[in-house]
Structure 1
Amino acid sequence: MELANRVKTLTPSSTLAISAKAKELKQQGYDVIGLGVGEPDFNTPDYVIRAAEKAMKDGMTKYTPSGGINGLKQAIIHKFKDENELSYSADEIVVTTGAKHALYTLFQVILNNDDEVIIPAPYWVSYPEQVKLAGGKPVIVDASEDNEFKITPSQLEQAITEKTKAIVINSPSNPTGMMYNRDELAKIGEICAKHNIVIVSDEIYEKLIYTEDKHVSIASLSDKLKQQTIVINGVSKSHAMTGWRIGYAAGDAKIIKAMTSLASQSTSNPTSIAQYAALAAYEETDTETLSNMKKVFSERLEILYELLVEIPGIKCVKPKGAFYLFPNVKEAALINGYNNVDEWVTALLEEENVALVPGSGFGSPDNVRLSYAAATDLLKEAAKRIKRFVENHRG
């Protein structure tokens, strides 16, 4: 049976693939350290779990409105107002089955065939694939390591054509952990406003910042930019709720209505119990859990960063947020006798049982992504194995 053309060129998620490979090797008895997974290694806070239990006992196990329960929408509205200086109404919010589904649905409702979407590289692996699935064309703009993996206004201007429909901004970024500051966002926003480009602002890592820098939503910079921006967020990273699959989008009511209609024909609604859990996550004050998570991640970042940059052939731009390091290992791969970083990563996994994600999946083939959402002793051991691998394979 012939497959649809839309899936024939689809590239599987490299992050999920490496995680699956690591799990397979573990099941075979190998001592694998997997640094590919993009989720906090903390359990969901107890008060959120209790809220889910209560929702089940209270019979909140039925269908809900496709765009999410009103209580959760109101909590999201309050969150935007209190934390991002943004005002939305309920018809400008749609709750989705994870932030990934929010992005997928958004591209489906705004893109026609051959519409172009500017995606700065390195990028999260799913952005280009989702654009292609919607019939659009990803336009990849390479961001320099020297500029902390951020595109410049001149690069953006040069990438815009008459077919440009949108741009994706992910700050803090997966996979680099970089952030755009207010001034940088304002300059990008000015260009987008001039060309009437939709801004897709993925802010899922906004709570995980380890410097004095403050997260800024580009939608908050002006009324014009708010009208042109769809903000994507969720509780997966901020509340260690990856498996609950609750995300959301906020923006123009016409787009949100279309996203809600599409969801009604695809998923019906986000899981009811998970919605009540997310409601509790936003309604109940629990700064201690987030503060503790940030403290642990910050400590791990410092430890792993210092260990990595000591390894010959590895250099790294120090991230400001998220929970990833994205070192350039091209020189290490070459001095170890490998043709490219992908081969180096494969050999590292086979010989030292350390699973990293090749940067090729993020549009940056000279890099690798390491998640420091793992216990400190595992991170130290991983760095030890990587160093041993590099030194053992030097010519």
Structure 2
Amino acid sequence: MKNLENLASDFFRSIAPSCIRKSSIVFSDRVKKTGEYINAINVAIGNISLPTYPAMLKRLLFIEDINLKKGIWRYTQTEGIDSVNQTFKKIIKSFLRPGLAPELFTMVDTGASHVMKLVMLGVCGNFNGINRPIMMLDPVYTNYISIGQELGREIVAIDRELNSDGTFGDVEIDTIEKIIEEKNPSAFLIIPYDNPSGTLMTQETINKFAKICIKHNIFFVSDEAYRGLYYRDDIKFAPSIWNISEDEVPGINAAKIRISIESFSKLFNACGLRMGALVTDNELFFEQARAANTTYLCPSCIDQYIASAINDEDERDIQNWIGSLRFYYKKILSELYIGLKTLMPDLIVTQPEAAIYSMVDVRNVVKPGFDANDFVMYCASEGSVEISGVNYTLLVAPAAGFYKNKNRYANTQMRIACVLSDKEMKLVPELFVKLLKEYENKRN
């Protein structure tokens, strides 16, 4: 039954794989079809390959919970077990500036992506017959765009452009105010440690945005999956909506507008654990989020048990762990930048201040009509480079999938996730440049 017309919905028939997953699907089909022996260096998706936090691994290998050992794996409460909720609170607390103690209501969920969906269900959409969008900065993590399409939720995106020096332009407060007046959003979502741009949002900027949200009485949502992964030496405390003080932003505590999206994937090298959380200072929003999530019963009891190992850790140990990740990623990102610019100086390459991604723009080195998606599909379906007797290809993410608005340079940009071993990441510049030249030579 190949034709889905009149059988499947318009949405289902029109949906395409995510820009961060599509290349791996195409490559997998290639290998199955041809039987070709080729190694794919997959930096299209932020799938961390580093070992997880030791206490979590120990808890998995030496299970002490009696019911889990007996194979009695029952549903937990919808919001998750108390110990894992305390874990998320403890992680946030370990980042707080002295004197700050926000009241937090937490609900764990099956990964941050599901939390994104739940948040978008709650903060935007139909308000007494008026459709109100959620406001974000463009480019934005592609899953928000996809989830918005799935839910029928409108996204208003504020343009940012990748400059020729590898930096993204700042967003003016006046621009945000104008969009709020014109589009009437019900929430403003930020990613302080930005995916995909690698831009770091300072606490001062977060505070300015918080004042706008209080002024217009809209939710202030922050995706803090990469909290603590910053690479500037002048940062003493991790920028966060939970590091907003009453002195700096009067009324922030009474406003009850803060929501953060939390994840174990990046800070604890546990992408496959699928453990995220919704955290808010608004008790009613928490209660309604829990009510909405009862449909999905609960997160995995096993994943919750493993994640709650962090609750027994000292806050200093948590911060030391994240500090070691900062050191690692700062080195990897720097080496990637140097490698790409050395081999092809006219590439535009970001020098990330946060998160684990680099953006590359080839607009200065390719012929007119270049399409990053076509290049990515070429690498996945037929591209091959031999290095030291081994055949490789490279999987990256076309940046057009991260732009909600039309951007004049989106089709020449790609995102690289620095998630593989040091040895594998060292191959990325050579593979990227050789495959790009190979592809350009094949184009008319």
Do both proteins adopt the same fold according to a TM-score greater than 0.5, normalized to the shorter chain? yes
Number of the residue aligned with 2:293:
263
Number of the residue aligned with 2:111:
98
**Quick check: 1:45 aligned with 2:56?**
no
**Equivalences for 1:105-184 in 2 at 5 Å?**
105-113=118-126, 114-146=131-163, 148=168, 150-160=170-180, 161=182, 163-184=184-205
1:122 partner amino acid: P
Q: Distance in 2 between matches of 1:254 and 1:22?
A: 46
Number of the residue aligned with 1:63:
75
Whether the aligned pair in 1 keeps the contact of 2:87 and 2:310 (CA below 8 Å) is no
Q: Distance in 2 between matches of 1:218 and 1:89?
A: 13
Q: Pick from 243, 246, 258 the counterpart of residue 275 of structure 2.
A: 246
How far 1:108 moved relative to its partner? 1.4
Report sequence identity in percent.
Answer: 20
Whether the aligned pair in 2 keeps the contact of 1:176 and 1:319 (CA below 8 Å) is yes
Q: Distance in 2 between matches of 1:359 and 1:318?
A: 16
**Equivalences for 1:149-298 in 2 at 5 Å?**
150-160=170-180, 161=182, 163-212=184-233, 213=235, 214-222=237-245, 224-225=251-252, 227-251=256-280, 252-266=282-296, 268-285=297-314, 286-287=317-318, 289-298=321-330
Can you list the C-alpha shifts for 1:101-142, whole angstroms capped at 9, x where unaligned?
Answer: 111111112332432111211110011222233332111221
Bigger mean CA offset, 42-51 vs 81-90: 81-90
**Quick check: 1:357 aligned with 2:397?**
yes
How far 1:347 moved relative to its partner? 3.3
Bigger mean CA offset, 247-256 vs 185-194: 185-194
**Pair 47,78 (structure 1): closer, same or farther in 2 beyond 3 Å:** closer
Q: Distance in 2 between matches of 1:167 and 1:99?
A: 18
**Quick check: 1:339 aligned with 2:370?**
yes
Structure 2: state its 5+ residue gaps: 1-5, 385-392, 404-409
Number of the residue aligned with 2:92:
80
**Quick check: 1:386 aligned with 2:432?**
yes
Q: Distance in 2 between matches of 1:106 and 1:235?
A: 18
Number of the residue aligned with 2:24:
19
SS across alignment from 1:258: helix
Whether the aligned pair in 2 keeps the contact of 1:121 and 1:149 (CA below 8 Å) is no
Can you list the C-alpha shifts for 1:165-199, whole angstroms capped at 9, x where unaligned?
Answer: 11210010111111111222222222222111211
How far 1:205 moved relative to its partner? 0.4
Aligned length: 391
Q: Distance in 2 between matches of 1:290 and 1:332?
A: 37
SS across alignment from 2:76: coil
Whether the aligned pair in 1 keeps the contact of 2:334 and 2:351 (CA below 8 Å) is no
**Pair 215,348 (structure 1): closer, same or farther in 2 beyond 3 Å:** same
2:135 partner amino acid: I
**Pair 377,24 (structure 1): closer, same or farther in 2 beyond 3 Å:** farther
Q: Distance in 1 between matches of 2:139 and 2:426?
A: 26
